[in-house]
Amino acid sequence: MMYFSNNIRLLFLVLSFGLSISNGPVLAQGSNEKAELARRVIDLHKQEGYLEKAFRGALRNAPAEQQEARKRVLSKIDQDAVYAGWAKKIEELYTVAEMKAYLNYASTDIGRSILRKTTEISAAMQEELYLEVMKAMSEE
């Protein structure tokens, strides 16, 4: 049971990892515009299946006896609520200009390709982190 609860904590760490970097103080800008831009950024991440990829990474190398329990827990997570929380954080951290630049870039073919690959890289990094944490926990 201890490993399971530690794994759930790790899952939340994994899910928050990708959007936890701040770019400095946010200037006061139109909150409606910022909220809409943040929602559009999140829509891009939804289209790329960011949460699903993070979940798969978190479950991929789990012991077989824990995978079903984790899948049940993960199936109960309100993905819309997670994305809404991320949208709020994006709105707090990024300026209107930063979000517009991101959306302009991510709207190009190369930008979408990089977003897709960045999502895959993040999932792989999260999986590696999970494996290292599990290894360290098993050594205790």
Predicted confidence (pLDDT) per residue in 122-140, tens digit: 777 877 887 788 888 888 7
| Per-residue pLDDT tens over the stretch 16-38 | 444 443 333 444 445 799 999 99
Cβ atoms 99, 43 nearer than 8 A: no
Compare 125 and 3 and report the one with higher pLDDT. Answer: 125
Length of the chain: 140
User: What is the pLDDT of the chain when averaged over all its residues?
Assistant: 76
